[in-house]
Structure 1
Amino acid sequence: MLSEYQETLLQSVKAFQSTQLVKNKYENVLQHLDSGIMLFDNEGVLTFINVQMARLLEMPRQSLIGCNLLQMLRHPHLSQFKKRNVLRIYRETIFHRKKYHELIDEYGRHWLITVTYGDQMDGDFLLSVKDVTDFKRVEQAAYQNDKMAMLGKISAAIAHEIRNPLTAIRGFIQLLRPHLVHLGKDEYARIILAEIDRANDIIHEFLNSSKPSAPQKSKVSVASLLKEVVLLTESEALLKNCQMVLEVPEDGYVSIDVKQIKQVLLNIIKNAMDAISEVEGDHKGVINIKAEVDAKHINISIQDNGNGMDKGQLGRLFDPFFTTKEKGTGLGLSVSYRIIKNHRGNISVDSLKGAGTIFVITLPIVS
């Protein structure tokens, strides 16, 4: 009888140990997931948090285990930004029954938050957080390419239809100009011709933004390219109270269409000057142009201390016809985007309202 009891007890111990090993194994897996995980019980107490989630919250795990939501929000190490987002997720989950949330953190990264609850969780709440920044970047690039492709389809169809009547109007205005001069109205003719030329320029930019010509590449020193660009812009920069600072290594070559890449660089520098001129007061503008070479690429950064942009403007910056300038066409950066892509490169931008903007152009290097 005792032997049977001991055998049963031994089996129970082995079963418990086996269960504990499985539990430890799965807990170890959860601890090292690239997604952050938190588990609240049916009373709202945090019973589990993995390493990644604690890292995202920038707090030690042990200080959070056993806390309820209110205690978490009162935790002295939780930043105000994170407190606001925790509250927002709580409201949308409880009051609006939302199970999926998206947010951008203070570092500009995108996060997808999933809340699982209901019968399958026995009253518990499982919250998982995944970094989807790279997915968003790919999605944005695909969206941008779709827009440019659509722009290409409609541009060819409308360009000639607009240019033909503009050419006819310009010709007749030139024929009428002597009569307008006789009437003392030559200024009218000058304005009409200038506006027609401006319309033609917009059409030209529109066509280039949809499909810039194939790059005619040649091997060029990045140092000489950037020095020439600075030489072309420094006089205008001085007039606008801007200082140009160039930092570039003497080595580093790229295979590019010099005219097209120069167009991109000049466009970005001109935008930087305009952003600096928008800052009120006696503001000393600085435009830093820097090139860095790694094993496969060269990164050219153009940074200004101008007015900067908010997140809404930043997200639409490469959209055709989007502009923050009163007299801008909104085509310069969309043209630049397509030119860099045609060179198998990448162009990115980061900005903070009131603190300036930085553009980074990445191009493959050649030996």
Structure 2
Amino acid sequence: MGMTKLGRVLVVDDEVELMTVLCETLNEREYEAFGFTSGADALKALQEQDFDLILTDLMMPGMNGIELYREALKIDPNMVGIMMTGQGTVQTAVEAMKVGAFDFVLKPFKLNTLLAVLLRAMEMRRLRNENLQLCDSMAIYDLAMAVSSSLDINVILNKIADAVLDQCEADEISIMLPTSTGEELYVAVARGDQMEIKLGQRIPIHKGIAGWVASNHETLIMQGAIRDPRFAPIKPRPEIKSSISTPLLVGGKCVGVLNVNSKKRKSYLFGKVKALKILAGTAASALENARLYGELQKAEQKYRSIFENTTEGIFQIAPDGRYLFVNPSMARIRGYNQPEEMLSLKSGLNYESFLGSESERQGIERQIRRQDGAVIWVSENVRVVRDDQGDMLYFEGTMEDITKRKEAEEALRESEARYRRIVETAAEGIWVIDRNCRTTFINKKMAEMLGCAVEEMVGKSLYDFIDNEWAAKVESNIKLHQQGISKQYEFKFRRTDGKELWAIISINPFFELNGQYSGALAMVTDITERKQLEKEMARLDRLDLIGEMAAGIGHEIRNPMTAVRGFLQLLKGKKEFVKHGEYFNLMISELDRANTIITEFLSLAKNKAVQLKPSNLNTILESMLPLIEADALVTDKYINLETQELPELLLDEKEIRQLILNLARNGLESMSPGGKMNLRTFVEGEEVVLSVQDQGKGIEPGIIEKIGTPFYTTKENGTGLGLAVCYKVADRHNAKIDFETGQAGTTFFVRFKTSKN
């Protein structure tokens, strides 16, 4: 281990040989000596390093020893100085002493004499350092005592500023603290001429000298002009010659920056800087304590306010069930005026048994009886608190009066049930789709209208129930819905069984909070029957028109036809025309056919008189069976008759026979040889039904719409009046005709209302 040096000595002499000898000699005598031949070089070294004393020649070119020592004291006020001279006078000695030199040594001198002076000078240096440290320690102690008696951050800041200003003999002092966001520093306290105007000024946390110090947690000492761009001041101040900025650190966190400025160039010795750092540490701890205390007070105020003003009851309960502590809201919930009234009362619930093996439970909903006897609903959160050994100390928790919520929930349930009943029993269909036309809700009526179950509908697309020809209309309507336009229109759906469903739809679009279209609700009214009725009325109107025309001109046509037929029969009997008998028969046959057509036309007349009499449909059908069977046998086809007991109906037997014959012959003509026709009668509800079922190829879809239209026929020699007459006969009997068709054949149903209807 190396020996401890007696001290650091700065040797300055323009005589190189003497300076070198002195340095070597002192180094051998356990000093640490550094030699220079000019005052300027010595000052530069003094600015960069710490020295205990300066041993300088008095008479030197450029800067003499007195001038050098005077400048050295500006850098280190406690520097000990010794003058050497070979031409000394009393005057120069006096001047050296006035400057503060410790001693004066005349050249040539004995080494022992110089060493003795150096020892005394080092002792002086030690005493000065101890005094300085004592002063610094006292300052730190005084500051610690001053700030320990206060937790007011403003008081602490002012005491810190005053202590640093006194200790550092500075011109300006400022303390900067971080803002609540931590993104800026602001001047919290300032000392010095016109420094009060800087109070509250802010700088970004990463800019300027203070910002660098706060970010890097390092002390920064500046001398003269600042050239390093890292430390470029935000507002340059050329009058400041020396400055020191040190972070106020506590627990590795910067709680502020202490800035010390001097308008004179001065050196900050290691001891002074160390003392300032200790002072800064004391200040940081005091500021952090004050901040924590302030936060604690705010937290206490906040939680006291919450505790006192929260609508939730807060409680502590002893293991035996006694209330240990409650807040005002808890007292109000239980029906007491003051919390004190509840203390030592039993809670009415064994929480230990209630919790069982659980340490806590949340959202316990139960009914309790208030002090006034009223029963209310409450929601509780409770937990057990134990000591380090696991023994139970107490239960604590919160209680909330949820009576109004429970009443609202019950009202909501009743409302939902009521509206669910309304929706489910509504006479109209209700259909809700999302933005992609997928079904999200459908009521029972709508499902029935479409021919499927409710559960089958959810997730299905609207397009599953429309024909391609209606898809374009759907898309155009959706564009209107997306614009918020509600609309009502007629629409044709396709049921799951393939039948048409005509409806009036009222659409109301839905939108998200951001305005985006999310779907629509449709109220759907089934107008299929109305559409069919309108179609039937239009068809009947056409039949009426044809019938009225036939009634108007039938007489005028039949009279000439009768005359023509009579003369043809007369001429046919003459001998000269016997050879043309074949032609006469053909002409008479065609006249008879024309007369039959006129008769069918007259059957379409709206005002044609009918003779309704109580009759049994089975009797009429059975009387016609031989005629129908004869027609069937000619083409190798078969008839099957099935009848049920029927009530009597008011019928025009002649017209009913024509209706049955037309339907039967149409069915026979549609079948291939070997086919079988089923004729059935039965009662369905309050209707008597005649059904004619063939085994033909069915009716083509393009023809269905034209069924019953006068003069429309698919037969080569047909008139297109057979079914038209059937529909007219049914209308005159207040009956309806409908049919089912497919690849296995067609069934026509004639539905007669019973007499009581």
**TM-score interval (norm. to shorter):** 0.7 to 0.9
Distance change in 2, residues 1:3/1:28 (3 Å): farther
The Cα of 1:356 is off from its aligned counterpart by 1.6
The AA in structure 2 aligned to 1:116 is: I
The AA in structure 2 aligned to 1:142 is: M
Matched, 1:260 2:649: no
2:503 to 92, 112, 129: 112
Contact 1:245–1:286 (CA under 8 A) maintained in structure 2: yes
Residues 229-250 of structure 1: per-residue CA shift (max 9 Å, x gap): 1122212212222221112235
Matched, 1:238 2:630: no
Instruction: State the distance in 2 between where 1:272 and 1:43 align.
Output: 47
The AA in structure 1 aligned to 2:452 is: E
Residues 196-232 of structure 1: per-residue CA shift (max 9 Å, x gap): 3322221221112214753334444444332221122
The Cα of 1:103 is off from its aligned counterpart by 3.1
TM-score under structure 1 length normalisation: 0.74
Q: Secondary structure of the residue that 1:264 maps to in structure 2?
A: helix
The AA in structure 1 aligned to 2:550 is: S
Distance change in 2, residues 1:259/1:61 (3 Å): closer
Residues 50-95 of structure 1: per-residue CA shift (max 9 Å, x gap): 344455373554983xx5xxxx45xxxx9xxx72628765542224
Residues 154-185 of structure 1: per-residue CA shift (max 9 Å, x gap): 22333244334544554665676689965965
The Cα of 1:320 is off from its aligned counterpart by 2.5
Contact 2:505–2:524 (CA under 8 A) maintained in structure 1: yes
Greater Cα shift, 41-50 or 356-365: 41-50
Q: Secondary structure of the residue that 2:604 maps to in structure 1?
A: helix
Distance change in 2, residues 1:120/1:27 (3 Å): farther
Matched, 1:131 2:520: no
Distance change in 2, residues 1:86/1:115 (3 Å): farther
Instruction: State the distance in 1 between where 2:536 and 2:476 align.
Output: 35
Structure 2 matches for 1:88-99, cutoff 5 A?
Answer: 91-95=472-476
Distance change in 2, residues 1:175/1:47 (3 Å): closer
| Residue equivalent to 1:40 | 433
| Residue equivalent to 1:328 | 718
Distance change in 2, residues 1:2/1:101 (3 Å): same
Over the matched positions of the two proteins, sequence identity in percent amounts to 28
Matched, 1:83 2:477: no
1:2 to 301, 304, 309: 309
| Residue equivalent to 1:143 | 538
The Cα of 1:274 is off from its aligned counterpart by 0.7
Instruction: State the distance in 2 between where 1:166 and 1:248 align.
Output: 43
Greater Cα shift, 104-113 or 260-269: 104-113
The AA in structure 1 aligned to 2:703 is: Q
Distance change in 2, residues 1:193/1:235 (3 Å): closer
Instruction: State the distance in 2 between where 1:328 and 1:273 align.
Output: 14
The AA in structure 2 aligned to 1:355 is: A
Matched, 1:287 2:677: yes
Contact 2:646–2:682 (CA under 8 A) maintained in structure 1: no
The Cα of 1:108 is off from its aligned counterpart by 2.4
The Cα of 1:102 is off from its aligned counterpart by 1.2
Q: Secondary structure of the residue that 1:210 maps to in structure 2?
A: coil
Q: Secondary structure of the residue that 1:204 maps to in structure 2?
A: helix
In angstroms, what is the RMSD of aligned CA positions?
4.2
1:58 to 438, 452, 457: 452
Residues 122-177 of structure 1: per-residue CA shift (max 9 Å, x gap): 63322344332322333233323323332343223332443345445546656766
Contact 2:547–2:603 (CA under 8 A) maintained in structure 1: no
Greater Cα shift, 228-237 or 12-21: 12-21
Structure 2 matches for 1:1-367, cutoff 5 A?
Answer: 2=309, 13=405, 17=409, 22=415, 25-42=418-435, 47-54=440-447, 56=450, 58=452, 61=455, 64=458, 72=460, 83=464, 85=466, 91-95=472-476, 100-105=490-495, 106-112=497-503, 114=505, 116=507, 123=517, 124-167=519-562, 169-170=564-565, 186-211=581-606, 213-249=608-644, 252-276=647-671, 279=672, 283-293=673-683, 297-344=687-734, 346-363=735-752
Contact 1:109–1:131 (CA under 8 A) maintained in structure 2: no
Q: Secondary structure of the residue that 1:92 maps to in structure 2?
A: helix
Instruction: State the distance in 2 between where 1:236 and 1:356 align.
Output: 19
Instruction: State the distance in 2 between where 1:52 and 1:364 align.
Output: 27
Distance change in 2, residues 1:16/1:256 (3 Å): closer
Distance change in 2, residues 1:132/1:237 (3 Å): same
Q: Secondary structure of the residue that 2:466 maps to in structure 1?
A: helix
Contact 1:100–1:115 (CA under 8 A) maintained in structure 2: no
Instruction: State the distance in 2 between where 1:145 and 1:53 align.
Output: 31
Instruction: State the distance in 2 between where 1:62 and 1:163 align.
Output: 63
Instruction: State the distance in 1 between where 2:594 and 2:623 align.
Output: 30
Q: Which one has a bigger Cα radius of gyration?
A: 2
Distance change in 2, residues 1:314/1:126 (3 Å): same
Instruction: State the distance in 2 between where 1:362 and 1:138 align.
Output: 15
Contact 1:53–1:129 (CA under 8 A) maintained in structure 2: yes
Instruction: State the distance in 2 between where 1:216 and 1:138 align.
Output: 26
Contact 2:505–2:523 (CA under 8 A) maintained in structure 1: yes
Contact 2:490–2:502 (CA under 8 A) maintained in structure 1: no
Greater Cα shift, 305-314 or 214-223: 214-223
Instruction: State the distance in 2 between where 1:115 and 1:258 align.
Output: 48
Q: Secondary structure of the residue that 1:125 maps to in structure 2?
A: strand
Query: Aligned pairs, how many?
Result: 348
Contact 1:306–1:355 (CA under 8 A) maintained in structure 2: yes
Higher relative contact order (CA 8 A, sep 6+): 1
The AA in structure 2 aligned to 1:244 is: I
- Structure 1, unmatched stretches of 5+, are none
| Residue equivalent to 2:397 | none
Distance change in 2, residues 1:44/1:272 (3 Å): closer
Greater Cα shift, 16-25 or 26-35: 16-25
The AA in structure 2 aligned to 1:37 is: I
Distance change in 2, residues 1:224/1:23 (3 Å): closer
Distance change in 2, residues 1:284/1:87 (3 Å): same
- Structure 2, unmatched stretches of 5+, are 1-307, 313-328, 334-400, 481-488
Contact 1:347–1:359 (CA under 8 A) maintained in structure 2: no
TM-score under structure 2 length normalisation: 0.39
Contact 1:209–1:320 (CA under 8 A) maintained in structure 2: no
